[in-house]
């Protein structure tokens, strides 16, 4: 069910939610968190769909702040249009879409405060352009976790450098979340005999893949080996992470993804294996990040320590 509330207030939206629950039997009890999605108008549906899917694992209230470019500019009449989605249109969540104009759009924090679930943690997600310092942004200040996506920025590699400078405990980025399968596979390989030190690491991928750089930074931090990272331009046809090469005394290990979703593992003295290594969907990344509401300390270490180590020209910077 979708209820439109044109030219409304947050108080009226809150009252409408109560009325919907009383008349339709839709309950908000059992919601574990409030997810705020800050996006541009016209781009909110993909994020809402991912949140609806993730809500089946994490029942929540979703508040979408869909801003129009220049909506808070001078001469724009103050106005708030809202939309409430419940039932089949909202998965296991309640979705409140807010479109604000004029002075109403200039204070996002006050806009959502009356709609937050009481005594429930708040997560803010910017699926598109992220603020310069997420923790200090109006919707970031009220959140326990703040999720960005470096791959959605105009310059993904520059976005990583910005994340390094702006990091605060509680920050997260989907460039890191997309590495879960790669990290698990590489850890499984290195957890088998022979237990030798890795002497050299090379990671390759596309220049628009911040996950490639973060994977190299993680390996540099964990293995303390000479690490290089090569990023190919759009003309190469590469998308995302291409592969990882590890050198040990007994021979090299290669995990290369030449085919979308499938990687080939080559190890000394063992048969070649094809492994399922698909790119994680937006829904999977969001659900993964919502499983923990405490700071991701490993991500914080990789972004603030691993990246500078990788950039150090004395031991394989980004090439």
Query: pLDDT tens digits for the chain (319 residues)?
Result: 889 999 999 999 999 988 887 776 555 456 789 999 999 888 999 999 999 999 989 899 999 999 876 666 556 788 999 999 988 766 767 899 999 988 888 889 999 999 999 999 999 999 999 999 999 999 999 999 999 999 999 999 999 999 999 999 999 999 999 999 999 999 999 999 999 999 999 999 999 999 999 999 999 999 999 999 999 987 888 889 999 999 999 999 999 999 999 999 999 999 999 999 999 999 999 999 999 899 999 999 999 999 999 987 433 334 3
- pLDDT of 318 reads 42
- In this prediction the pTM is 0.92
CA distances from 119 to 30, 34, 48, 152, 263 (A): 12, 10, 23, 32, 44
**How far is it, in rounded angstroms, from Cα 61 to Cα 116?**
8
**What are the DSSP calls for the chain, one per residue?**
-EEEE-S--HHHHHHHHHHHHHHH----TT--EEEEEEEETTSHHHHHHHHHHHTTTS-EEEEEEEEPTTTTSTTPPPEEEEEEE-GGGSTTSEEEEEEEEGGGGG-HHHHHHTTSPTT--EEEE-SSSPPSSGGGSHHHHT-SEEEE-GGGSSSHHHHHHHHHHH--TTEEEHHHHTTHHHHHHHHHHHTSSS-----EEEEEEETT-HHHHHHHHHHHHHH-SEEEEEEE-GGG---SEEEEEEEETTEEEEEEEEETTEEEEE-TTS--EEEE-PPPPHHHHHHHHHT--S--HHHHHIIIIIHHHHH-GGG--B-
Separation CA 238–CA 247 (nearest Å): 23
For the chain, the structural domain boundaries read 2-173, 180-315
């Amino acid at each position: 069910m979708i209820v439109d509330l044109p030219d409304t207030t947050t108080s009226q939206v809150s009252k409408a939610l109560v009325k919907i629950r009383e008349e339709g039997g839709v309950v908000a009890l059992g919601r574990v968190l409030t997810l705020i999605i800050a996006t541009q108008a016209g781009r909110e549906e993909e994020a809402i769909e991912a949140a609806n899917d993730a809500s089946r694992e994490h029942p929540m209230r979703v508040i979408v702040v869909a801003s129009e470019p220049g909506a808070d500019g001078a001469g724009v009449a103050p106005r708030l249009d809202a939309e409430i989605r419940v039932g089949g249109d909202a998965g296991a969540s309640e979705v409140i879409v807010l479109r604000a104009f004029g002075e109403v759009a200039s204070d996002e924090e006050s806009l959502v405060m009356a709609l937050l679930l009481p005594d429930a943690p708040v997560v803010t997600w910017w699926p598109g352009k992220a603020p310069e310092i997420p923790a200090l942004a109006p919707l970031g200040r009220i959140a326990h976790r703040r999720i960005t996506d470096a791959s959605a920025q105009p310059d993904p590699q520059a976005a990583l450098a910005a994340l390094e400078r702006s990091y605060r405990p509680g920050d997260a980025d989907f460039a890191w979340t997309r590495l879960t399968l790669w990290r698990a596979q590489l850890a499984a390989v290195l957890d088998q005999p022979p237990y030798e030190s890795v002497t050299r690491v090379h990671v390759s991928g596309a220049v628009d893949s911040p996950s490639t750089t973060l994977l190299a930074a993680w390996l540099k931090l964990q293995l303390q080996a000479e690490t290089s990272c090569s990023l190919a331009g759009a003309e190469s046809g590469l998308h995302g992470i291409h592969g990882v090469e590890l050198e040990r005394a007994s021979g090299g290990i290669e995990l290369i993804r030449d085919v979308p979703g499938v990687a080939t593992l080559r190890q000394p003295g063992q048969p070649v294996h094809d492994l399922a290594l698909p790119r994680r969907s937006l829904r999977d990344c969001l659900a993964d990040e919502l499983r923990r509401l405490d700071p991701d300390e490993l991500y914080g270490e990789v972004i603030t320590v691993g990246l500078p180590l990788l950039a150090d020209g004395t031991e394989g910077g980004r090439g």
